[in-house]
Chains A and B, each alone.
Chain A
Amino acid sequence: MEGEELRLDGNAIAGALGEVFVEEMTSARIACEGCGSVESVGAEHAYVQAPGIVLRCTHCDSALLVMTRTGSRMRIWFPRSRWLETGEPGND
């Protein structure tokens, strides 16, 4: 169930991402394979009440990142994203 009222922001999955990634991930950029857009993880849509966590493109709703936990195992996959970039944008 991914109804409108269950939609959160990527901010909501920062804790889960922090279990895996060392860097702060809501400021990281993620590129959508569906529409080509690039947004901060914190600006994308997140659904946390599914069996796993799903991050979807704020423009085209493509599933960018999915996290599921089974016992001690955490699986992350990227169904419709091209890349994920950490660090401050545009500093190089």
Chain B
Amino acid sequence: MARAAVRGRLNWTLGEVVELIDETPRVRSIVLDVPDWPGHRAGQHVDLRLTAEDGYQAQRSYSIASSPEDARLTITVEGLPDGEVSEYLVGELRRGDKLELRGPIGGFFVWEAVSGGPLLLVSGGSGIVPLMSMLRHREAADATIPTKLVSSSRSWDEVIYRDELERLAAAANGPEVIHTLTRSQPPGWTGYARRVDGAMLAEVAWAASSMPMTFVCGPTSFVESVAAALVLLGYPATSVKTERFGPTGG
């Protein structure tokens, strides 16, 4: 916990793009080498600032996807229609480019292996990004804390980190991963095919009596309906940490 203590004010720094990974047709991971990166905790984010030639600046927050144990910093960005920053990051950014960023930021929506569990992670769309940092951290730390991820995506092709999630779930002591596909499902799909609701959570989430630590991330309406459903299931409101994306990330 001492790491959350005094650490100086946030300053802008430059990171170099060392790898670009297409996660889905609309989502890309950007792997950065950031000299003197002070390290982060799973769930934290960074601010990115783009400056146009005419001096116009646009700034956005992106969750960190990589584990604290990873020397390289990875963010994952969903390209949004008319999103001036996200479209650039997903469509035009190239390896070797430099990005201006500051962070790590936040300390509330954070999970560390020493925090314990059981752990319940619930994501809507690209809300999975900070939760993936937690899952990667859990694996890197060899933690065996019982963990469930409930991931809502529009379709199988839009499941971010799909292969890695399958690998993590198949490992000994791996997390249990429950997918729901809200818009279209592949042939033979036997999983959930609707928005996350109270009935689904009653079936798959930890019993409230096991006192889980819960992190919910996604669009505002998703986060609020999931958090409300969990409270109805008996989860104390203070045990459910939320991160709302809002209508767009831009």
Residues of A within 8 A of B45 (CB): 11, 14
**CA of A88 to CA of B245 in the docked complex: distance in angstroms?**
26
Residues of A within 8 A of B242 (CB): 9, 43
**CA of A43 to CA of B8 in the docked complex: distance in angstroms?**
23
B111 CB–A CB distance under 8 Å: no
Which residue on chain A has the smallest CB distance to residue B247? Answer: A5
Q: Mark B3-37, 1 if CB is under 8 A from A, else 0.
A: 01111111000000000000000000000000000
A18 CB–B CB distance under 8 Å: yes
Residues of A within 8 A of B1 (CB): 88
Best-surrounded residue of B102, B103, B108 (most CB of chain A within 10 A): B108
**CA of A18 to CA of B46 in the docked complex: distance in angstroms?**
11
Residues of B within 8 A of A88 (CB): 1, 4
Also in contact, A43 and B106, with CB within 8 A (given A24-B7, A27-B4, A88-B1): no
A41 CB–B CB distance under 8 Å: yes
B176 CB–A CB distance under 8 Å: no
Also in contact, A27 and B107, with CB within 8 A (given A4-B221, A22-B7): yes
**CA of A42 to CA of B61 in the docked complex: distance in angstroms?**
15
- In the bound complex, do residue B9 and residue A27 qualify as a contact, i.e. CB atoms below 8 Å apart? no
Instruction: Tell me how far the C-beta of A8 lies from the nearest C-beta in chain B, rounded to whole angstroms.
Output: 5
**CA of A12 to CA of B243 in the docked complex: distance in angstroms?**
8
- In the bound complex, do residue B61 and residue A15 qualify as a contact, i.e. CB atoms below 8 Å apart? yes
- In the bound complex, do residue B4 and residue A43 qualify as a contact, i.e. CB atoms below 8 Å apart? no
**CA of A27 to CA of B241 in the docked complex: distance in angstroms?**
12
Residues of A within 8 A of B7 (CB): 22-24
Pick the contact of B106: A4, A8, A19, A24 (CB < 8 A). Answer: A24
**CA of A22 to CA of B247 in the docked complex: distance in angstroms?**
30
Residues of B within 8 A of A20 (CB): 9
- In the bound complex, do residue B106 and residue A42 qualify as a contact, i.e. CB atoms below 8 Å apart? yes
**CA of A87 to CA of B45 in the docked complex: distance in angstroms?**
20
A40 CB–B CB distance under 8 Å: yes
B87 CB–A CB distance under 8 Å: no
Which residue on chain A has the smallest CB distance to residue B106? Answer: A14
| CB interface residues, B 92-115, toward A, < 8 Å | 102-103, 105-109
A60 CB–B CB distance under 8 Å: no
B246 CB–A CB distance under 8 Å: yes
Assuming A4-B220, A42-B107, what are 14 further A-B pairs, CB within 8 angstroms?
Answer: A5-B220, A5-B247, A6-B246, A8-B245, A9-B109, A9-B242, A10-B108, A11-B45, A11-B243, A12-B244, A14-B106, A22-B6, A42-B106, A42-B108
